């Protein structure tokens, strides 16, 4: 349809699915009991109606065409409704990362200069107001609470009532929403993760978003019969496109999980057919499986490891396009019953599409899930260019980001940087034309900043970030992401950051999974929560063993000669992680510069 906007896509889906339930928002039981929950639901028709009323309410309050409206909320049903409502009003929807400290969020609001701000609850308003007062910043003029009430703030219901009142006075107001919008208008403002520098704000048009959504039927063949559970921050493109707007385009119901702590229970209860999570979630799942397996009887461990070996060989044959021998097919059915099904039951047992996104996935981890007959489909996308690649369903390659989606061109520059040309390209960085010009060629190619390779079947592989490439003092080039990914199969290690740029050899900073450390002989129960306990001899030796195992897989110049164990995990609060758990290497090195200096003093090495 010419001139389609994001709101038009919702209208199209509602016309097909009507009063079927689209959104399931958990609400506590009587007395706030979270263990006895029910759901507040929106049908497709109700979603259209609510978003239209929000759009009209914003018009009644004088929102201007192309004006920014910010949202600070966890991912929930009201976010979806408000998000589309803002876009329908002709404004630009800008979600803020809830994981950031409040003082950082005040800085974001200062940069955005928005007049309209949607907040999740009175509690959010209270915390933000205190942080704003400390920085002598006045919060946006119009604040709308998505839940609850507070003095000086409007309610979401009150905003919708303004929309209904406007529609009653002027029945043509609803049609005017569509007529006033152009597909080239800005729809969403994303804040980049800032993994390799300061975050930027990128504006994406309705046309770019819809071009991405229309690639979904091939990449994500889901429909009304499917369902998904969501928990990622809506400020991130993976959540916004893949888990909000693609289900909206395809008519797929969405269930909202209130927290990571509740997620395992939600997955078992809801039994989704599609689930997207960042690598950190899949790593934790693997670590839990590995830890629990150690506690099982010897025969159980042998059964699982035998099944895993069988699964790895079967996965290899499938990737080579070969048929499985009859005996192997029969053996896999037994392995499924005795071993693999137990893992899949953690995710509800009905998954058709298990996907990893928002950060790179380690190849070994991908191979583990392929072996248990639940391949993780990894894709690749950027704030500035939308979703670019995805592994084909039924033909995924571990370690690969998949093939280019239809209509997207990809090429490699002379230095190995991946460049893309796509109809999903953003309009530019907000208020920064110079930065926009620096990442787009005159003929429309976007410079991703990622180093990549492609095989003869068209599968792409990210080898690292251009800005993160380590060049040792003797000129050797090392890709830290590839080495760091090898640690993801080691449950004891939580996080790792390679060090070595302009240095004579490689070193590393590591953090420990203290829950896994409980299984180390000689580690007392009293040690588990003490930061200093990471330096206990049994833990240091176990980490040294891990480093040695990884080193055996590396060339001599890549091997880690020394390491230091940090007394805490890397954190968002300290600026060391993005909200999607990507490591900000520069900040980590700055925060721990004294330890880094020690790594290059003396002769002590990991054994």
Q: Where residue 120 sits, what CATH number does that domain have? A: 3.40.50.12780
Residue 323 placed within a domain: yes
pLDDT for 239 equals 93
Same domain for 310 and 243:
no
The fraction of the chain above a pLDDT of 70, given in percent, is 94
Same domain, 370 and 479: no
Confidence tier at 474 by pLDDT (50, 70, 90)? confident
- Mean pLDDT, range 348-375, rounded to an integer: 88
Q: Is the pLDDT of residue 205 over 60?
A: yes
Residues 118 and 73 in one domain: yes
CA-based torsion, 474, 475, 476, 478: positive or negative: positive
92 or 365, higher pLDDT: 92
As for how many domains the chain has, the answer is 3
The answer on 297 and 343 residing in a single domain is: yes
Residue 419 lies in a domain: no
List C-alpha distances in Å: 281 to 266, 510, 540: 14, 19, 26
Predicted structure pTM score: 0.84
**Mean pLDDT of the region 260-275:** 92
**Based on the domain organization, do 12 and 143 belong to the same domain?**
yes
Q: Is residue 97 part of a domain?
A: yes
Q: Of the ranges 200-214, 388-402, 566-580, which one carries the lowest mean pLDDT score?
A: 566-580
> Is the separation of the CB atoms in 422 and 382 below 8 Å?
no
Statement to judge: residues 237 and 322 lie in one domain? no
pLDDT in tens, 26-71: 987 665 555 666 899 999 999 999 999 999 999 999 999 999 999 9
How much is the pLDDT for 436? Answer: 93
The answer on 126 and 170 residing in a single domain is: yes
- What is the overall mean pLDDT for the chain? 89
CA distance 552 to 546: 10
Give the model's pLDDT for residue 604: 45
User: What tokens appear for 148 in the block?
Assistant: 């609850």
Integer Cα distance of 196 and 209 in angstroms: 25
Per-residue pLDDT tens for 419-435? 999 999 999 999 889 99
Extended strands (E) in 36-195: 38-43, 68-72, 92-95, 116-119, 142-145, 154-155, 186-191
Per-residue model confidence (pLDDT) at position 538: 87
Shared-domain flag, residues 474 and 370: no
Of the residues 321, 349, 374, the one at which a domain ends: 374
What average pLDDT does this structure show over 224-249? 95
> Does residue 96 carry a pLDDT above 50?
yes
Exposed (0-12), middle (13-18) or buried (19+): which is 165, by Cβ within 10 Å? middle
pLDDT band at 118; cut points 50, 70, 90: very high
Mean pLDDT calculated for residue range 478-497: 87
Per-residue pLDDT at 35: 61
Q: What is the CATH number of the domain that holds 572?
A: 3.30.300.30
Q: Quick check: is 423 in a domain? A: no
CB atoms within 10 A of CB 389: 24
Contact assessment for residue 583 and residue 576, using Cβ atoms and an 8 Å cutoff: yes
* 164 shares a domain with 95: yes
Last residue of one domain, picked from the residues 352, 374, 396 = 374
Residues 153 and 300 reside in one and the same domain: no
Is residue 175 included in any domain, yes or no? Answer: yes
CA angle 482-488-491, nearest 5°? 155
Task: Give the pLDDT confidence score for residue 242 in this predicted structure.
Answer: 95
Q: Check residue 275 and give its pLDDT.
A: 95
Residues 312 and 175 in one domain: no
| pLDDT single digits (tens) 268-284 | 999 999 999 988 889 88
DSSP H helical ranges for 409-506: 433-437, 480-486
Per-residue pLDDT at 164 exceeds 70: yes
Structural domain includes residue 268: no
Q: Which of 44-58, 289-303, 380-394 has the highest mean pLDDT?
A: 44-58
Asked if residue 548 and residue 592 are part of one domain, the reply reads yes
Distances (CA, A) of 527 to 295, 491, 494, 496, 514: 20, 18, 17, 22, 9
Q: Which domain holds residue 547?
A: 469-599
Is 459 inside any structural domain? no
Q: By the 8 A CB rule, do 280 and 581 touch?
A: yes
Instruction: Using DSSP bridges, classify how beta strands 428-429 and 460-465 pair: parallel, antiparallel or unpaired.
Output: unpaired
d(CA 470, CA 515): 32
Domain closes at, from 332, 352, 374: 374
Specify if 406 maps to a domain. Answer: no
Sheet strands side by side (includes 560-565) = 493-499, 506-512, 560-565
The better pLDDT of the pair 607, 69 is held by 69
The token pair at 542 is 């176990």
Contact residues for 189 (Cβ-Cβ < 8 A; gap 6+): 68, 92, 93, 94, 112, 201, 202, 203, 204, 430
- Which of the two residues, 422 and 191, has the higher pLDDT score? 422
Least confident of 199-203, 328-332, 596-600: 199-203
């Amino acid at each position: 349809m010419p001139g389609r906007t994001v709101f038009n896509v919702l209208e199209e889906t509602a016309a097909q699915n009507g009063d079927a339930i689209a959104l399931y928002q958990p609400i506590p039981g009587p007395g706030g009991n979270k263990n006895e929950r029910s759901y507040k639901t929106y049908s497709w028709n109700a979603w259209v109606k609510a978003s239209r009323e929000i759009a009209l309410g914003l018009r009644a309050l004088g929102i201007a065409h192309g004006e920014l409206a910010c949202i600070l909320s966890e991912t929930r049903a009201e976010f979806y409704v408000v998000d589309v409502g803002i876009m329908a009003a002709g404004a630009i929807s800008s979600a803020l990362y809830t994981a950031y400290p409040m003082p950082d969020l005040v800085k974001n609001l200062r940069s955005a200069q928005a007049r309209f701000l949607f907040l999740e609850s009175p509690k959010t308003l209270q915390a933000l107001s205190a942080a704003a007062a400390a920085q002598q910043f006045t919060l946006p003029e119009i604040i709308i609470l998505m839940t609850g009430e507070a003095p000086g703030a409007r309610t979401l219901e009150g905003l919708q009532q303004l929309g209904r009142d406007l529609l009653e006075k002027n029945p043509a107001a609803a049609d005017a929403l569509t007529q006033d919008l152009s597909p080239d208008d800005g729809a969403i403002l994303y804040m980049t993760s800032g993994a390799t520098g300061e975050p930027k704000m990128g504006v994406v048009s309705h046309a770019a978003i819809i071009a991405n959504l229309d690639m979904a039927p091939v990449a994500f063949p889901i429909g009304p019969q499917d369902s998904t559970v969501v928990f990622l921050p809506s400020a991130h493109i993976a959540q916004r496109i893949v888990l909000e707007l693609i289900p909206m385009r395809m008519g797929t119901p969405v269930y909202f999980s209130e927290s990571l702590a509740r997620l395992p229970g939600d997955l078992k209860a809801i039994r989704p057919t599609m689930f997207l999570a960042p690598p950190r979630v899949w790593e934790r799942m693997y670590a839990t499986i590995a830890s629990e397996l150690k506690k099982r009887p010897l025969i159980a461990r042998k059964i699982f490891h035998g099944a895993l070996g069988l699964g790895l060989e079967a996965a290899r044959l499938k990737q080579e396009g070969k048929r499985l021998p009859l005996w192997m097919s029969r053996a896999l059915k037994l392995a499924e019953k005795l071993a693999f099904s137990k893992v899949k039951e953690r995710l509800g047992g009905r998954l058709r599409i298990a996907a990893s996104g928002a950060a790179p996935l380690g190849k070994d981890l991908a191979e583990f899930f392929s072996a248990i007959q639940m391949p993780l489909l990894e894709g690749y996308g950027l704030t500035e260019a939308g979703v670019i690649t995805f592994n084909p369903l039924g033909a995924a390659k571990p370690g690969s980001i998949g093939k280019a989606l239809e209509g997207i061109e990809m090429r490699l520059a002379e230095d190995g940087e991946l460049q893309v040309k796509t109809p999903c390209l953003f309009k530019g960085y907000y208020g920064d034309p110079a930065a926009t010009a620096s990442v787009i060629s005159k003929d429309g190619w976007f410079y991703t900043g990622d180093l990549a390779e492609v095989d003869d079947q068209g599968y792409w592989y990210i080898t690292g970030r251009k800005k993160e490439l380590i060049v040792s003092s003797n000129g050797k080039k090392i890709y830290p992401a590839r080495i760091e990914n090898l640690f993801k199969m080691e449950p004891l290690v939580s996080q790792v950051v390679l060090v070595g740029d302009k240095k004579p050899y490689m070193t590393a900073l590591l953090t420990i999974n203290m829950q896994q450390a409980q299984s180390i002989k000689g580690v007392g129960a009293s040690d588990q929560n003490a930061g200093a306990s990471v330096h206990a001899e049994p833990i240091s030796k176990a980490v040294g063993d891990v480093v040695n195992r990884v080193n055996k897989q590396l060339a001599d110049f890549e091997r880690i000669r020394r390491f230091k164990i940090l007394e805490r995990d890397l954190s968002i609060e300290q600026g060391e992680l993005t909200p999607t758990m990507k490591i900000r290497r520069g900040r980590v090195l700055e925060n721990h510069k004294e330890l880094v200096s020690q790594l290059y003093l003396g002769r002590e090495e990991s054994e």
